[in-house]
A and B are shown apart, each in its own frame.
Chain A
Amino acid sequence: MPYIEVQDLQKHFIVRKKREKGRLLREKTRIQALQGVSFTVEKGELVGYIGPNGAGKSTTVKILSGILTPDGGEARVGGMVPWKERRQHVRRIGVVFGQRSQLWWDVPLLDSYSLLKDIYRVPDEAYRRRLADLTDALDLGDLLRTPLRLLSLGQRMRAELCGSLLHGPELLFLDEPTIGLDAVSKLALRDFLRRENEQNGTTILLTTHDMEDIAALCPRVMVLGHGKKLYDGALPELLSRYDTRRVITVRYGEGEELPPLPPGCAVEREGENMKITYEQKDLPTAELIARLQSAGPIRELTVQPQNVDHLIAAMYREMNL
């Protein structure tokens, strides 16, 4: 039996608009946040969950963590229905919201952790071991006596992660964990998550807008849009469907002009560099390079694949999101 089982999950919200002039009642709009989402996740998987803003990612996470009750459909996590057995359920999960803190603002981290230990009723011995392990892995040793408010964003995210893992959850939800972090912090965070997943077998569900996170971490990705699941599988496979365009940048020795190019190629000039964007299926790369060479001696030439963000944007466009 899969660890997480979601069947036809539905949730709507009623949003009241501002009252218009001359109307007695405020207009209400019904927003279908989830319209029948189904998936399963095995224990120990690391799954990326992506989609544009408002696609229903957070709603799914909130339902699976027991905060919200769905309107229809079923969900089971490790045999429990999250919103019905909230207290038993949340004991086994950890949740990190990128923009929301669960630690106390004005007190040293160690005090926050000690309070979390009491809230989760973690035995002394297990707590000591776990804390030592986490502070080591997250490099928090020097920060334990610092109040949260004095930490940088990257440090704070590490502190939050430590807090959400102290009770040794089987399942970790991460909502945009790398938002606003610098490159070094992002890399360190990804390493840590991979380690947590491999060593402790923690199942991780990660929502993010950062495609690098997904590419680096998640063998499997689910795409959500307008409350429906649009894709479920490996990231490279998903990208290959949209990865059709290439960009060549070329620079000639003595300011030669470009040779005539077939229609469908877009040319952009940046000083001496000329950037040509083309569809691979219409114009094979080898043929284009041959043509470019015929115009004169080339000093420099680079071929770039499209950036992942562009691919995702193209995908959202195509799926009408």
Chain B
Amino acid sequence: MDTLKLYVKSMGMLLKSQLQYPASFCLQTLAQIVMEAGELMAVLLLIDRFDSLNQWSGGDLLFFFGLMSVTFYLTECFGRGITGNFGNFVRTGQLDTFLLRPRGVLTQVLCSAMDPRRFGCIAVGVAALILGCRQSQVQWTAWKALAFAESVFLGVWLILGLFLIEAVFCIHSVKSVELVNAITYGGRSACEYPIDVYPRPLRILFTVVAPFALTLHVPAAYILDKPMYGWPAWTAFATPLAGAALFAVMYTVFQYAMRFYRSTGS
């Protein structure tokens, strides 16, 4: 509870410090909106051309896209310390400062950065979600709302876990590894579309290795009343736990890797 309070307070402070440069903040947020709206346009054009993809209608595709956008950019906004700045913390020796305080390193990493410009992207994602629900005439129930909330929440932890892989490499080589981007940013781009449109190797990658399909797609399909692979309804609540599991595994690996941390010179 205490840690959560610290996190909220840190976020407030970071937001305040970002707003010290209002012009830059507005322009960058605008740029983010344009960028993400471009991605949305790609989906809209695809729907316009093909109407549907496998069993998925245009509205369904918008829903998948929106769910991914909202989840991914929430992570980038509130988990910026892990998704964006970790490499710099290692290079500049900021990590030393964290080690000098009586709190967990990961807590402080998360507390040390946020990126409110991503609110623009999140807004685009929300727009896609609303549009998708309208077009597919989703009947919301309490269970569906719960599945949605769980999916987004655990999706955030999943993405943080994936970025932790990169962080672990950073601790060792003091340099970030582009290869990991294939499953983080690559995963985001690929999994804006439902998993069952992909060939088998990709399906395995995004189900077993980076379980976007389990955390986001299975509950999304449940909400759209088109269960993924015909799985029963309870799976929509169970499979997202894969995201939490991945984070837990990476958290353990991260703690282990920190034991071998060697700081940079001063």
Contacts and interface: CB of A to CB of B under 8 A. Distances in A.
Interface in A117-149: 118-121, 147
Contacts of A90: 99-102
Contacts of A99: 266
B10 interface: yes
Nearest to A97: B266
A62 B263 CA distance: 9
Nearest to B101: A119
Interface stretch (A100-108, A151-159, A226-234, A283-291): A100-108
Interface string A66-108: 1111000000000000000011101101010101111011110
Sorting the interface of chain B by its residue count into under 10, 10 to 19, 20 to 34 or 35 or more gives 20 to 34
B259 A69 contact: yes
B5 interface: yes
A87 B17 CA distance: 28
A14 B259 CA distance: 16
Contacts of B94: 100
A97 B102 CA distance: 18
A111 B266 CA distance: 27
A115 interface: yes
Nearest to B112: A104
A13 interface: yes
A114 B13 CA distance: 10
A178 interface: no
B2 interface: yes
B263 A100 contact: no
B209 interface: no
Contacts of B102: 87-88, 90-91, 119-121
Contact of A107 (B13, B103, B261): B13
A65 interface: yes
A68 B13 contact: no
B197 interface: no
B227 interface: no
A100 B96 contact: yes
Q: Counting chain B CB atoms within 10 Å of each CB, which of A67, A86, A100 scores highest? A: A67
A277 interface: no
B101 A13 contact: no
Contact of B20 (A88, A101, A106): A106
A226 B242 CA distance: 51
Contacts of B99: 65-67, 86, 90
A86 B102 CA distance: 7
A249 interface: no
B74 to A, nearest CB: 23
Contacts of A87: 102-103
Given A120-B102, A147-B17, 15 more contacts: A58-B266, A65-B100, A66-B99, A67-B99, A68-B263, A87-B102, A88-B102, A90-B99, A90-B102, A97-B93, A100-B96, A100-B266, A106-B17, A107-B13, A147-B20
